[in-house]
Amino acid sequence: MGHDRLSKVIDLVSENAVHYSFQIIGAIVILLAGWVLSHFVVGMAHRALRKKKVDITIEKFILQGVRWAMLALALLLALSNLGVQIAPLIAGLSVAGVGAGLALQGPLSNYASGATLIFTKPFKVGDIIEAVGVQGEVKDISLPRTELLGLDGSIVIIPNKHIIGEVIKNYSQHRQLEFKVGVGYDCDVDKALSIVEGILRKNKKVPSSQPIVVGIKEFGDSSIVLQAFVWVLPVDYGDVKFAVNKAILDDFRSQGITIPFPQRDVYVHTK
């Protein structure tokens, strides 16, 4: 009697082991097939998007979406092959997702903001921008954050929710460069303005297609303040600024144009 019962248990275990081992192997095969197929489909989509010259940021977003969608489908098929009921699982995940969404409103808002940035395209990878008080070159735009290469070489990570709704300056085409210099009240102002304009026009990194504006900004306590505006390529901003400042100083000195320092006249009255 005991021997028969043991035989039945062994038979049952053997039958279930064979049955479930095939299911597990089938699930693994489905996952591997889904992984391989996702790479194949993403590759095809990548080539198609490149042919259409789709913006690189949108391209990355679409390719990631396709990859994760196919992997999620493969996972659901693998679970179904193991006998897991998919409909109740999806319903449970939906309820859990709502709860997680309420608990993670802050982080999830970064993803919503990232999607807005990707599709409205106020800037793209490679642009030089200023946002939330930070300037730099855009190195990457993902759903949760935007990565900038700062002017000092540092990597700046900005959560996307802090960018949406803020003022964004995009310097991807030309960037305005301002110069201010004070000259003495007894100087030849017309000559000083001509010197500044000539320096700007001679600088090879100032595009000839862009306007050059030079004039008197204001009358200060100790000097007449001259101001000039030019528009340069973002990569030339620092070089032009340093070179022009140096040239103004040298030419003013050689042409007898004084740059006065702040001063006050003090009158002493004696009785």
Query: Would you say residue 271 has pLDDT above 70?
Result: no
Query: Would you say residue 249 has pLDDT above 90?
Result: yes
Please choose, from the candidates 196, 206, 186, 204, the residue with its C-alpha nearest in 3D space to the C-alpha of residue 250. 196
Indicate the domain borders of the chain. 2-103, 123-170, 175-254
What are 170-189's pLDDT values in tens digits?
Answer: 877 788 899 999 999 999 99
CATH number for 2-103: choose from 1.10.10.10, 1.10.286.10, 1.10.287.1260, 3.40.50.10470.
1.10.287.1260
pLDDT, residue 104, reads: 39
pLDDT, residue 26, reads: 75
pLDDT, residue 31, reads: 81
CB atoms within 10 A of CB 86: 11
Backbone angles phi, psi at 25, to 5 degrees: -60, -40
Higher pLDDT, 106 or 233: 233
Query: Would you say residue 195 has pLDDT above 90?
Result: yes
Which numeric CATH code is attached to 175-254?
Answer: 3.30.70.100
Instruction: Tell me how far apart the alpha carbons of residues 32 and 74 are, in angstroms, rounded to a whole number.
Output: 9
**CB within 8 A of 65, min separation 6: which ones?**
none
Choose the weakest-confidence range: 14-28, 87-101, 221-235, 241-255.
87-101
Sign of the Cα pseudo-torsion (87, 107, 109, 156, in order) = negative
CB 68 within 8 A of CB 85: no
Higher pLDDT, 194 or 64: 194
The rounded mean pLDDT for the chain is: 79
Which numeric CATH code is attached to 123-170?
Answer: 2.30.30.60
CB 147 within 8 A of CB 153: no
What Rg, from alpha-carbon coordinates, does the chain have?
A: 34
Query: Would you say residue 21 has pLDDT above 80?
Result: no
What are 62-97's pLDDT values in tens digits?
Answer: 777 788 788 888 887 777 776 666 666 565 555 555
Give the whole-number percent of the chain exceeding pLDDT 70.
76
Instruction: Tell me how far apart the alpha carbons of residues 42 and 35 are, in angstroms, rounded to a whole number.
Output: 11
